[in-house]
Amino acid sequence: MKSYQTLLTELDDKGIFTITINREDKLNALNKTVISELNDAVDEIYQNSAIKGAIITGKGIKSFVAGADISEFKGMTEAEGKALAQRGHDVFDKIELCPKPIIAAVNGFALGGGCELAMACHLRIASENAKFGQPEVKLGIIPGYGGTQRLTQLIGKGKALELLMTGDTIDAACAAKLGLVNDVVQTVELLDACKAMLQKITSMAPFAIAQVIQSVYAHFKDGINGFDTEIELFGKCVATEDFAEGTAAFLEKRKPVFKGK
C-alpha cells in the first residue's frame, strides 16, 4: 500500500479500506496536499481488486474535517480560486462516482469542505458529537467543492438555502432528521457501524452495486435520463454470472456466492 504525508490508510481482511485524514492538530482541515493525496487514495479504491469498499474519516474524535485550510486562501486571485474549486470538484466527483461503496465516518466537525467531502461519499454515518455546516458566507465566499449542489440534493432546496445563507451549524440529530446522514451512533461505535454497513453492502453482487451507484447519480447529470440509464444497466446486470447465481440461490433457498462477474 502507498504511504502518505497527510493520510493513514489500512486494508482489512474483509476488503474494507479505511482512509484517515491525519491532521488532528489542524482539526483535519483540507489543504492542497490532502486533496492531492485523497485523489491518489481514491485511485487505489478503483484499481485494487482486493478493496471491496471504503471508509473516509478524520483522526481523533473532535473533527472529521473542520473545513479548508484558510491560510491557503489569502491573496488568491479569481483564476486561482476557480482552479482550486475545479480540483476539489474533480476529486470529490471521483469519490461520488466510485463503483465501490464509500462511507463517511463523521467524527466531530464536518464543516465547509468537510461537509462537502462527507456529502460526496455514498453514505454518511455520524457520531453523536458530529456537527455539520457550510459556513463559507461568513468568509465572503460560497462552497467550492460541490456543497451548493449536493446539500440541495440531500435535504431539499429550502433548508439547503437556509444553511448556505446563514452559515448555521447543525448537530447530528438534526442532520439525521433532514436526511443529511444515514445513521447516528455513539463515538466509540462509529467505525464498527461503518464496517458493518459496508460488509452488508459488499455481500451483494459487486457489479449490481456499481450499477446502483451509476443509475442514482445519472438522475443529477444534465442531459441524462436516469430512467433510460436504469433500463440499460438493468439489462447489463441480467447478462452477468452473478445474476444467474442470485436467481439460482433464491430458487434453491440458499445464500448466493457472488464473484463479481
Q: What is the pLDDT of residues 132-158, one digit of tens each?
A: 999 999 999 999 999 999 999 999 999
Placement of cell 457520531 in the chain:
127
Q: What is the pLDDT of residues 199-243, one digit of tens each?
A: 999 999 999 999 999 999 988 887 888 899 999 998 989 999 888
Which among 96, 90, 103 has a CA at the least distance from the CA of 213? 96
For the chain, domain boundaries? 7-202, 206-251
Residue 45 pLDDT exceeds 90: yes
Averaged over 180-192, what is the pLDDT?
97
**Residues catalogued as catalytic:** 116, 136
How far from the centroid of its chain's Cα atoms is residue 241's Cα?
A: 29
Within a 13 Å sphere around the CA of 92, how many CA atoms are in the beta-carbon half? 23
For residue 226, what pLDDT is reported? Answer: 87
Residue 109 pLDDT exceeds 90: yes
Question: What pLDDT band is residue 71 in, cutting at 50, 70 and 90?
Answer: confident
The CA distance from 150 to 163, in Å, is 13
Placement of cell 482486493 in the chain:
50
Residue 94 pLDDT exceeds 90: yes
Question: What pLDDT band is residue 194 in, cutting at 50, 70 and 90?
Answer: very high
Helix (H, G, I), strand (E, B) or coil at 30: strand
Lowest mean pLDDT among 61-75, 85-99, 102-116, 197-211: 61-75
Question: What percent of the chain is modeled with pLDDT above 90?
Answer: 80
Averaged over 123-135, what is the pLDDT?
97
For residue 74, what pLDDT is reported? Answer: 80
Please name the fold of domain 7-202: 2-enoyl-CoA Hydratase; Chain A, domain 1 (3.90.226)
Question: What pLDDT band is residue 101 in, cutting at 50, 70 and 90?
Answer: very high
Averaged over 5-30, what is the pLDDT?
96
Tell me the C-alpha to C-alpha distance, in Å, between residue 118 and each of 83, 108, 110, 131: 21, 12, 7, 12
Question: What pLDDT band is residue 171 in, cutting at 50, 70 and 90?
Answer: very high
Question: What pLDDT band is residue 255 in, cutting at 50, 70 and 90?
Answer: confident
The answer to whether residues 229 and 212 touch, using CB atoms and an 8 Å cutoff, is no
The CA distance from 148 to 150, in Å, is 6
Give the total residue count for the chain.
Answer: 261
For residue 257, what pLDDT is reported? Answer: 86
The CA distance from 185 to 229, in Å, is 35
Does the pTM of the predicted model rise above 0.75? Answer: yes
Cell readout for 9 is 490508510
